[in-house]
Structure 1
């Protein structure tokens, strides 16, 4: 009986050791995949719901603070990313609202935004309307528009109210 218990411990120890050896490789592959930029959403419907004034969107790359596994989930939802406006929409918005030349202060500094670093329009010409930031459904909404590509960069805290 004592020999069986010793064998069982040995088998469990070998299995545990093999599992721990695979874990770093799995973690490294996961990190490489995330750095490659495939860890974002491309659906536009949630963004159109969060930002109804932007009208139908044609393309999107965005992330959420609830996307990745973390030890303590955040009670607050933050969405951040880029979306392409329909042709003529930015001209319509700039005709109806006051805009100033102003770009984002950072390049996606939050932990969940890593996949977006280096994405977005090349050499953007950002403008911002503080008025549009206030009418967003989120508690804290920031929208920057690139005049060259009809792209909006956004960051919104609790965008659905």
Structure 2
């Protein structure tokens, strides 16, 4: 009887420790992020910007609180251009001073609020924004940080 009672207490103690141990393991390994950091999908979506050195982006197909992913693919976020790439783009295309009008207003963009360059000086080239064939892209560039902020609907066509 005493042996069985110790087993039950031991199992109960083990079960109580499991959630805390799992949470610490998740944090230590950084397995859950609020955004993507891989640049390869962005380089496929925006070949003119390649190669990219780093990124923080989200997708409308990421899981959300509602539990229903979007039927259309929208990607949104920030990426860093390699040194000199923005200078090449501004030499080849017309740019105007223009910043984004919204502040990541979609449900899936919430993790991006507060991210990005400090005090950006956004410029935009309407030539580089693509419209038609079922997709649309908006690109804003910060000259100081070589960062591009992007929003794209169906970027892969």
TM over 0.5: yes
| Residue-by-residue CA offset, 1:56-88 (whole Å, 9 max, x unaligned) | 000100000011243433210000000000000
Aligned to 2:51: 56
| Most deviating of 41-50 and 132-141 | 132-141
What stretches of structure 1 of length at least 5 have no aligned partner? Answer: 1-28
Match of 1:115 among 106, 111, 115: 111
What TM-score results when the alignment is normalised by the length of structure 1? 0.74
**Cα contact 1:51–1:137 (8 A) shared by 2:** no
Aligned to 2:18: none
Which 4+ stretches in 1 moved above 6 angstroms?
Answer: 135-138
**Cα contact 1:138–1:156 (8 A) shared by 2:** no
The answer to whether the aligner puts 1:77 opposite 2:73 as a matched pair is yes
* Distance of aligned partners of 1:101 and 1:109 in 2 relative to their CA distance in 1, 3 Å threshold: same
Alignment of 1:74-113 (within 5 A): 74-113=70-109
* Distance of aligned partners of 1:143 and 1:84 in 2 relative to their CA distance in 1, 3 Å threshold: same
What is the CA–CA distance in structure 2 between the aligned matches of 1:147 and 1:139, rounded to whole Å?
Answer: 26
- For these two proteins, the number of residue pairs brought into alignment is 127
What stretches of structure 2 of length at least 5 have no aligned partner? Answer: 1-22
| Offset, 1:107 | 1.1
What TM-score results when the alignment is normalised by the length of structure 2? 0.75
* Distance of aligned partners of 1:135 and 1:150 in 2 relative to their CA distance in 1, 3 Å threshold: farther
Aligned to 1:10: none
